[in-house]
Amino acid sequence: MQTNITTKAAESDDEAMLAVFERLALEAGRVIMEIFHGQVAVEHKPDSSPVTEADRASERLILAGLRAAFPGIPCVAEEEASAGIEAPELGRAFFLVDPLDGTREFVNGNADFTVNIALIRDGAPEIGVVYAPCSGRFFSGRPGLAEAIALSGDGTIAGRHRISVREGQVPLTIVASRSHRTPETDAYIRQVEAAEIVSVGSSLKFCLVAAGEADVYPRFGRTMEWDTAAGDAVLRAAGGETVTRGGEPLTYGKRNQLDDVDFANPSFVAMGRVSGAPGF
């Protein structure tokens, strides 16, 4: 009996946290769209990647909301990291925030950019939301439950339905990066005979696999944990997995890495229930 009570309490806590994530993502999306429809000024970070006021305004809103609602949980966010603000000490749980994933898409007027908020527990992404304010596509995930969220005309939540990964289709549908394709990614794709390839930006790639609209998302080359955590949380909640070259689950909270900077990801493949996808 005590175990059931504890489990229900944990589920209730996760559901309450997810509600905060969803509210903040919608609020951040409204701020982003105001800037998107105006004059977008583009700056560049030390690594030459673009950044706009939409990135910064979205991050300020999300971090203020998370820190007010959950003052005991550390936050790691892309723009703070890029500005040289040292990440806090991380315990068993921490937040990862990408306030505008797909800034290149945003700057170019494409619709695939997203707002991403995730909770990491013990190195795994357990709660996450991915919101694409241009298209209105909205996904959420917590342990045992992934959902696609429908929005009304005024941008409020109108409904939701459960999603899950599908059995691998023939041909397999592969989602790949629009802005960051690498020769290694292309070589992987060529291994999959008769694959249908869908090019899409940002963390929506994870969500298309989670929703059973695609089968595999390979990513070779640099990503950061805030790029992947929210989409990965949705995918895992939907029954999928994200694995590294060694076949191990992609982990989060990576610091003091010998061959890369803090929070950098290795190459990975995210997938649904696929038996015929090639390995690395």
Helices marked H in 70-170? 78-82, 103-107
Give the Cα separation of 97 and 117 in Å (integer). Answer: 5
C-beta of residue 140 within 8 angstroms of C-beta of residue 128: yes
Q: Is 13 annotated among the ligand-binding residues?
A: no
Q: How far is CA 52 from the centre of its chain?
A: 19
Q: Is 227 annotated among the ligand-binding residues?
A: yes
Q: Is 78 annotated among the ligand-binding residues?
A: yes
Structure tokens at 123: 């190195």
Rg (CA), the chain: 18
Q: Is 59 annotated among the ligand-binding residues?
A: no
C-beta of residue 182 within 8 angstroms of C-beta of residue 140: no
Q: Is 232 annotated among the ligand-binding residues?
A: no
Q: Is 259 annotated among the ligand-binding residues?
A: no
Q: Is 102 annotated among the ligand-binding residues?
A: yes
**CA atoms 5, 10, 11, 17: torsion sign:** positive
Other beta carbons within 10 Å of 140: 28
Annotated binding site for substrate: 78, 100-103, 227
Annotated binding site: 78, 98, 100-103, 227
Annotated binding site for Mg(2+): 78, 98, 100-101, 227
